[in-house]
A and B are shown apart, each in its own frame.
Chain A
Amino acid sequence: MDIIDRRSNPHGKNLENRRRALERARGAVQKAVRDAVANGKIREIGDGKAVSIPADALHEPGFHRVFTQGERHIILTGNHEFSRGDKLRRPPSGGGGKGGGPGQAGTDGGGEDAYRFILSRDEFLDLFFDDLELPDLIKREISATETAAPSRAGLSNDGSPSQLDLGRTIRYSMARRIGLGRPKPAELDEIEARITELEEVRPLSSAQLEELEELREKRGNLRQRMNRIPWVDPVDLRYRRFAPTPKPSTRAVMFCLMDVSGSMTERMKDLAKQFFLLLHVFLEKRYKTLDVVFIRHAETAEEVDEETFFHDPRTGGTVVSTALEEMLQVQRARYPVQQWNIYVAQASDGDNSPSDTPQVVRLLGEEILPLVQYYAYIEVTGSGAIIRGETDLWQAYRSVAEKQPHLAIRQVSDRKEIFPVFRDLFARKTTGEASHA
């Protein structure tokens, strides 16, 4: 018999296998993220979300039978009450409705649980943007618009003299000097004194002579060491290090305007939501506080909560100007221009009652655009748009946009266009801002 202690053998044999399982799950995780976005609220997106992926993604199939009909016997234990001929109500499901037989139930039958992944906000957004097919661009855009402020970030070996951390440097130097045995000046002084003393004695006894020789040698040694081991060696130097950290500036409010009349389908709203979500993520990285105001309109407009905004349809005609007026009213009441950066994102299918369009142009051009940092209009197009060509609203917005570049207008017909359009809008934003200033 041998006894072997294997505890020090390499651990983590399964790391590679686990990595492979995760890689395989990735696709499913991404889909779960997409669903979470579709069902979640804009304000809560990615806040330490747990996403569940169905076990299917990691399912290992095999041929096995299920009992569907006919007869079978089941043996159970723990009978305290039954006699032969008793009848039991059939359990609703389970009770062995699946699985080949009682012997099998415990082994592999229970493998249908979903797997849960807890994602950090960044992981969540990464996966989400990945879905939009241009994963890195958004991040670059965001970091480019951030203002950075230096903040303390530990110590470093080099830096400018003004950042020298004296206390720390001396502490290191002291430790090194002690470690290497640099003699203290007092010690040297003592020896010097004794040497001078001896040199004055005449004649020297042989013992004194020996001592003198010894001391001289010692003095030579000490001097050498003192020269060799400096007070402050370059390796002792420590500088305070600063790293740039993004510093969000001030406050912003984001108005989400959407047409919710019957002509807006669920799919269109979903596209709009993707867009609002991107804008939200973008602004949130930039501003310390970000308010979101949801305004929906059909014939009339009202401020609503997010749930209603996306999920409560209305019917009736469309009067876009009502939404613009509502927005102005909310802005005047709660968001003074001096204190808030104002953004507006509007999504619509471009339907408007023809008589209202001049009013929209006036409101937009004269009242709203002077107030806002940026106004993004996206028109979600259904298949009908190809036949219809440009909508009235689109033409109207275009005429305004030609004069005022911080109104951006885009058409979107598919999820995968959302991100490029978004990027495009914000690429223009920087030049627009420059000319604006």
Chain B
Amino acid sequence: MTGTGLLYQGADWNFTIIRDCYNAIEEIAEKELGLNVFPNRIEVITSEQMLDVYTASGMPINYHHWSYGKRFAGHENAYRRGLMGLAYEVVINSNPCISYLMEENSATMQALVIAHAAFGHNHFFKNNRLFQEWTDPSQILNYLEFARGYISRCEEIHGQAAVERVLDAAHALQGQGVNRHSGSRRVDLKDEQARARERRAYEDRSFNDLWRTLPQGSEPEFFGDGEKQALRRRLGLPEENILYFLEKHAPRLTAWEREIIRIVRLIAQYFYPQPQLKLMNEGCATWVHDRIMSRLHEKGLIDDAAFMEVIHSTTNVIAQFGYEQGSTSFNPYALGFAMMKDIERICTDPTEEDRRWQPDIAGNGDAYATLRHAWAEYRDESFVLQFLSPKVMRDFRMFRLLDDTRDPYLLVDAIHDEAGYRDIRRTVAASYDPSAWYTEIEIVDVDTLGDRTLRLEHRTKSGQVLADNDMKLTLNALADLWGYRVVLDEIDTPTGRVVLSHEAGQA
């Protein structure tokens, strides 16, 4: 500590300063804000290492694949040409929670990142229900290590091209590789590793429903409707998790190919909650760092210059551009932070309007507890539906457009006024509804008696069909893994009419 009572002065940092900052921040986070976090691990890395981490979906380790190389090149390019600043931090939802600090950061930025990542994100990871339900932070790093080793062994044995073929196809189907609706299906990743070898050996010998039902001679009457139904049940149809289905039932895959599909599926599953919590997660971390850095300043632990830097950097992060600047979406940092500041205000200093809109929290006087409750219990969609207040809508000057393709114009059908608040809030919330971006595709049938054609249905949403080019490529990938013909029907949801029908693979 310096004689002035400040944690540091100027921009330079060293490990003692980081430790002192951490301790000061921890005290505020735990004693004042009541945050509850996983044990922290702070790692200092260079900008190049940051690019690496950034590329591998924020994971410190991953298997080799060309798509990461492509992503790295993209990031590096953008970074070198100054189009993109590097993230100041990357934090991993693991136990212990790892936060990466970049060596180029100033002392103030290191403190800010610790507050933001090691406490904000960390608290959110540990306490949000969705994360608790879906992810296993204590095992993810071990599992990724296993996955990497497994895949590179496969490359040694079967060749890079053969492995890449399976990985490419599985990546294309990643979005259809998660269980969305089935209660708690958190996979125990530790068991996963232990069981992997055993499972492979077992599956080599295992019994396959599809082969058992190969037509033998001409006894079609043997398979009545009841038989078919029973078979469908045994295959678990309809099934929305395409990767899962392939892993279990695709007739032509070998054991190692199934294991690779499983790896891609489990990793996709691990990341499944993240996009549903982006707004809240970033909002929470930003609010936490803002509060903590302000407290450090109030307590005289950082000087005015440092605090100005905090304000400057926070302002950059929470900038929301309007439609005139070409922005068509919300900056999750901006909206999340604004809503959390707003909750704080409603709790401590509500207006008449707030009492009408948020009677249950207005003026309750305990902003921190209210926020902690929200962070734990909501996801982006329900959070917006519950807490987006007229004041925030006015501050952002939100308005809603109706895009009806039959009209030559776009209609402004709601603005930030008394009549429009509820419409706007509902639409913002709906845009965070996972079903707004996940594509609903199900495997509905397998022609077990004939040519083993796999049938899928896509339930379209009001006039939205699958992007054609991507659909073809993905369907080819699917047919490749399945090994036989694949048919995909696009169904108009209300009427059940088939709008489009596609197929891939040989008949």
How far in angstroms is the closest Cβ of chain B from A54?
12
Asked if A72 and B403 make an inter-chain contact with CB atoms under 8 angstroms apart, the answer reads yes
Contact flag A7-B44 (CB < 8 Å), given A20-B65, A21-B67, A84-B420: yes
User: Counting CB contacts under 8 A, is B401 at the interface?
Assistant: yes
Asked if B420 and A105 make an inter-chain contact with CB atoms under 8 angstroms apart, the answer reads no
How far in angstroms is the closest Cβ of chain B from A15?
8
Interface members, chain A 58-113 (any B CB < 8 Å): 58-80, 82-90, 95-96, 98, 100-106
B397-440 CB contact bits vs A (8 Å, 1 = yes)?
Answer: 11111111110111111111101100010011011100011010
Name the contact of B431 in the complex, choosing from A11, A58, A90, A101 (C-beta under 8 A).
Answer: A101
A interface, over-half SS: loop
Contact flag A1-B403 (CB < 8 Å), given A18-B72, A103-B436: no
Interface size class of B (residues with CB under 8 A): 35 or more
Asked if B329 and A1 make an inter-chain contact with CB atoms under 8 angstroms apart, the answer reads no
Contact flag A65-B439 (CB < 8 Å), given A16-B64, A73-B427, A75-B428: yes
- Bound form: Cα–Cα A73–B411 in Å: 10
Q: Give the size of the chain A interface in residues (CB under 8 angstroms).
A: 64
Name the contact of B403 in the complex, choosing from A13, A74, A115 (C-beta under 8 A).
Answer: A74
Interface members, chain B 151-178 (any A CB < 8 Å): 160, 164, 168, 171-176
Contact flag A76-B398 (CB < 8 Å), given A82-B412, A100-B464: yes
Name the contact of A69 in the complex, choosing from B68, B430, B463 (C-beta under 8 A).
Answer: B463
Residues of A within 8 A of B100 (CB): 6
Asked if A96 and B403 make an inter-chain contact with CB atoms under 8 angstroms apart, the answer reads yes
Asked if A21 and B69 make an inter-chain contact with CB atoms under 8 angstroms apart, the answer reads yes
Residues of A within 8 A of B323 (CB): 76-79
Contact flag A84-B412 (CB < 8 Å), given A7-B45, A21-B73, A104-B437: yes
Interface members, chain A 256-296 (any B CB < 8 Å): none
Residues of A within 8 A of B465 (CB): 65-66, 68
Asked if A6 and B43 make an inter-chain contact with CB atoms under 8 angstroms apart, the answer reads yes
Name the contact of A77 in the complex, choosing from B15, B396, B437 (C-beta under 8 A).
Answer: B396
A338-352 CB contact bits vs B (8 Å, 1 = yes)?
Answer: 000000000000000
Asked if A3 and B44 make an inter-chain contact with CB atoms under 8 angstroms apart, the answer reads yes
Residues of A within 8 A of B322 (CB): 76-79
Asked if A14 and B52 make an inter-chain contact with CB atoms under 8 angstroms apart, the answer reads yes
Asked if A68 and B464 make an inter-chain contact with CB atoms under 8 angstroms apart, the answer reads yes
How far in angstroms is the closest Cβ of chain B from A411?
39
Residues of A within 8 A of B386 (CB): none
Contact flag A75-B399 (CB < 8 Å), given A7-B49, A83-B412: yes
Contact flag A73-B401 (CB < 8 Å), given A60-B172, A85-B412: yes
Which of B187-195, B206-214, B468-476 sits within the interface? B468-476
User: Counting CB contacts under 8 A, is A2 at the interface?
Assistant: yes
Residues of A within 8 A of B48 (CB): 11-12
* Number of A-B residue pairs at CB separation under 8 A: 269
Interface members, chain A 1-51 (any B CB < 8 Å): 1-7, 9, 11-14, 16-24
- Bound form: Cα–Cα A72–B45 in Å: 45
For B460, give the chain A residue with the smallest CB separation: A65
Q: Which of B39, B55, B399, B461 has the most CB of A within 10 A?
A: B399
Residues of A within 8 A of B172 (CB): 60-62
User: Counting CB contacts under 8 A, is B222 at the interface?
Assistant: no
Name the contact of A62 in the complex, choosing from B174, B330, B403, B406 (C-beta under 8 A).
Answer: B174
User: Counting CB contacts under 8 A, is B106 at the interface?
Assistant: no
Residues of B within 8 A of A102 (CB): 328-329, 431
Residues of A within 8 A of B431 (CB): 75, 101-103
Residues of B within 8 A of A13 (CB): 49, 52, 56
User: Counting CB contacts under 8 A, is B103 at the interface?
Assistant: yes
Could you give 16 example pairs across A and B, Cβ below 8 Å? A12-B48, A13-B52, A63-B175, A63-B176, A64-B439, A64-B467, A70-B464, A71-B463, A75-B428, A76-B322, A76-B328, A76-B398, A77-B396, A87-B412, A88-B410, A103-B330
Given A78-B327, A90-B410, output 11 extra A-B contacts at Cβ < 8 Å.
Answer: A4-B44, A9-B49, A61-B471, A63-B458, A63-B470, A70-B405, A73-B403, A77-B396, A77-B399, A78-B396, A95-B328
The interface of chain B, by Cβ under 8 A from chain A, is 15, 18-19, 22, 26, 39-46, 48-49, 51-52, 55-56, 64-70, 72-73, 96, 100, 103, 118, 160, 164, 168, 171-176, 320-325, 327-330, 396-406, 408-417, 419-420, 424, 427-428, 430-432, 436-437, 439, 441, 458, 460-467, 469-471, 473-474, 477
